[in-house]
Amino acid sequence: MTIKLYDYSLSGSCYKVRLLLHFLDLHYEKQQIDFYPGRQHKSLDFLQINPLGQIPALEDDGLQLRDAQAILCHLANKYDGSGRWLPRDERHFGAVMMWVMFAGGELMSASAARLHDALGYKLDINAARASAHAAFRILDDHMTLREIEGAKWIVGDHPTIADIACFPYVALSGDGGIGHEDYPALRNWMRNFRRLPRFHAMSGVPEYV
């Protein structure tokens, strides 16, 4: 039984999945997708793997999955014996899912800004940055309250897939011209995350903490 990840190193969404695979110490096979300039994710071959034409996609024991958030849920559900990355108790499960959805929704404006600046995507860059700032503010407000409670993570007292899902596009936002100056609680949270055992960086996230 092997896990196969359709991957592009520069994708923050693929990075979410690589992070969890690494935290869980899971072996997997990587299939590199020439996302840019090749647009291989829009090729007929790849559309049979994910008809939405998006990466990441994951194959696991006959199961074919798309959407980074869904893949995080699947991996945590299946492989995390400790239950910490996706807590099932009623106080935490809903909150984790809420921030996981936020990562796949509102935070993706930061991804759009990055695609515009680095890879020349045609889109309204001012609107993308403004939406990203609005989303960052919501997460920073939340993490400010968490700091006051003496907590370090988005939900609970252990990092969860909510932290994994939110981390990449907050950390990579500078690539899209979105700075971290206004978000002291996000800076502290990101630093804590980067100091986790088994954390690994990607291009755009400095290796040294």
Partner 1 sequence: MSLEQDRWTGVGLDRQVQAASSNPVILDGQALALWRGEDGPVRVWEDRCPHRGMRLSFGFVRGDTLRCIYHGWAYRTDGQCVEIPAHPDLAPPKTICANSYPAESRYGIVWTNLSGAGSAALPDFGADEGWEPVRSIYVDRPASVVREALHSFDFGDVSEVRMNGGSAALVRVRSGLEILFAVQPVSDGKTALHAVAKGQGVAGRRADLARRLERLRATIERA
Partner 2 sequence: MAVTTDSVALNEWVPCGWLGQVPLGGQMDTVIFGQKISITRSDDDCYRVETLPEDGSSGRQLPVQTRYCCIFTTLGEAKRPLPEIAEFDEPDRRVTGCGSVGVNTSPYRLVENFLDMAHFSFIHTDILGAPDRTEVLAYKTEHRKDVDEIWAIDCTFYQPAASKASATGQMTQYVYRVMSPFSVMLYKNVHCDPTRNDAICVFIQPKGETECLAYMPMAIVDENSSTADLIDFQQSIFLQDRVILENQRPALLPLDPTYELPTRADASSIAYRRWLKAMNIKFGIYEKQAA
Partner touching 180 among partner 2, partner 1, none, CB below 5 to 8 Å by kind:
partner 1
CB of 52 to partner 1, least distance (A): 35
Name the site residues for partner 2 (rule: CB under 8 A).
8-10, 32-34, 36-38, 40, 117-120, 174-175, 177, 202-204, 206-208
Q: Which does 141 bind (CB under 5 to 8 A by kind): partner 1, partner 2, none?
A: partner 1
> Taking a C-beta distance cutoff of 8 angstroms, is the pair 49, 8 a contact?
no
Task: Specify the residue, 37 or 206, whose C-beta has the smaller distance to partner 1.
Answer: 206
| Among partner 1, partner 2, none, residue 187 binds (CB under 5-8 Å by kind) | partner 1
CB 7 within 8 A of CB 67: no
In the complex with partner 2, which residue's Cβ is closer, 43 or 188? 43
- Amino acid (one-letter) located at 106: E
Which residue number, 42 or 191, has a Cβ lying nearer to partner 1?
191
Pairing of strands 57-60, 63-66: antiparallel
Minimal distance, residue 170 CB to partner 1, in Å: 14
Partner from partner 2, partner 1, none binding residue 134, C-beta < 5-8 Å depending on class: none
Which residues sit at the interface with partner 1, rule CB under 8 A? 137, 141, 144-145, 147-149, 179-185, 187-188, 191, 206, 208-209
Which among 207, 209, 175, 208 is positioned nearest to 189, based on CA atoms?
209
Question: Which tokens belong to 117?
Answer: 């600046």
Whichever of 118 and 185 has its CB closer to partner 2, that residue is: 118
Reference 202, options 90, 97, 78, 114; nearest CA is 114
Distance from C-alpha of 20 to C-alpha of 27, rounded to nearest angstrom: 11
Torsion of CA 129, 201, 196, 20, to 10 degrees: 90
Q: Which two tokens stand for residue 18?
A: 């690589």
